[in-house]
Amino acid sequence: MKPDDLDPTRGDPAHTGPAHLGPEPPTPEPDPPDPEVIGVRHGLFGTPGTGDTSGYGGLVQPITLPPSSTRPYGGYFDEIADALERELADRYDAAVEKIVIFRDEMTIHVRRDHLPTVALTLRNCPDLRFELCLGVNGVHYPGDPGRELHAVYPLASLTHNRRVRLEVSAPDADPHIPSICDIYPTNDWHERETYDFFGIVFDGHRSLTRIEMPDDWEGHPQRKDYPLGGVPVEYKGTRVDPPDRRRSYS
């Protein structure tokens, strides 16, 4: 009998090398991309020159945006991405900037000129069927040049019991985003509110007027460059000073 005849791994296709080396180690997964840093926040609110009354005046924190995610996304997110790419075909690369999976939520970043096309596709495609738009929220990033204003649309599919978000950006110098009220009529007042508070102009809206602030109000109160305080408030006969005139703890 030859010595090789006593080797139990001889002829076993699972062993491609000497028995003492064992199986090859798994290939390590690549590190996730770093988040995009667009600024640094000083204090809890980051509003300069107003007197931060929160007690966190010395807080310094980077302002980051999550990076583009890589496949596979996991769950039903891959099915949504596949269906959207299939329906948009050659328009997909021009319409979709990136897809972000963050904290188990999917956000599709769309170039503003293609927003109506993407929204209509998400609503009408049988494999997607996002019939419900839950409104639109404004976001202001003063430190993100060329993308200072963002509009975020939460969508829900009642057919497939799924959630997704659309996000569109516009520069301060040209704050125009197409209205999607013709696709989701319930967005009417939501677009008015976002225009009122952030100054985003929704082109094609039937009556884009203020909905919370008086018609002659100057500025848009939820932007980060809007002065914090300065307007006295009267509550049940008691006068409350504006925040910039209260005690500062920084």
For residue 56, the Cα-to-chain-centroid distance in whole angstroms is 26
Contacts of 33 (CB under 8 A, 6+ apart): 67, 68
pLDDT the model gives residue 231: 65
For residue 241, the Cα-to-chain-centroid distance in whole angstroms is 35
Residues 205, 105: one domain? yes
Show which of 50, 65, 80 is a domain's final residue: 65
pLDDT the model gives residue 130: 98
Q: What is the 3-state secondary structure (H, E, C) of the chain?
A: CCHHHHCCCCCCCCCCCCHHHCCCCCCCCCCCCCCEEEEEEECCCCCCCCCCCCCCCCCEEEEEECCCCCCCCCCCHHHHHHHHHHHHHHHHHHHEEEEEEECCEEEEEECHHHHHHHHHHHHHCCCCCCCEECCCEEEECCCCCCCCEEEEEEEEECCCCEEEEEEEEECCCCCEEECCCCCCHHHHHHHHHHHHHHCCEEECCCCCCCCCCCCCCCCCCCCCCCCCCCCCEEECCEEECCHHHCCCCC
Residues 82, 44: one domain? no
Distance CA 62, CA 54 (A): 18
Domain count, the chain: 2
Containing structural domain, residue 56 = 34-65
pLDDT the model gives residue 62: 87
pTM comes to: 0.76
pLDDT the model gives residue 60: 85
Residues 60, 112: one domain? no
pLDDT the model gives residue 35: 83
pLDDT the model gives residue 184: 97
Residues 208, 96: one domain? yes
Residues 59, 125: one domain? no
* pLDDT tens for each residue of the chain, 250 residues long: 555 555 555 555 555 555 555 566 665 555 667 888 888 877 776 555 655 566 666 788 888 888 899 999 999 999 999 999 999 999 999 999 999 999 899 999 999 999 999 999 999 999 999 999 999 999 999 888 999 999 999 999 999 999 999 999 999 999 999 999 999 999 999 999 999 999 999 999 999 999 998 888 888 999 988 876 666 666 677 776 776 666 655 5
CATH number of the structural domain spanning residue 194: 3.30.460.80
Residues 102, 200: one domain? yes
Residues 74, 60: one domain? no
Residues 148, 210: one domain? yes
Rg of the chain over all Cα atoms, to the nearest angstrom: 26
Residues 61, 74: one domain? no
Show which of 13, 42, 65 is a domain's final residue: 65
Distance CA 211, CA 198 (A): 12
Show which of 46, 65, 84 is a domain's final residue: 65
Residues 83, 136: one domain? yes
- Beta-bridge partners for 157: 162
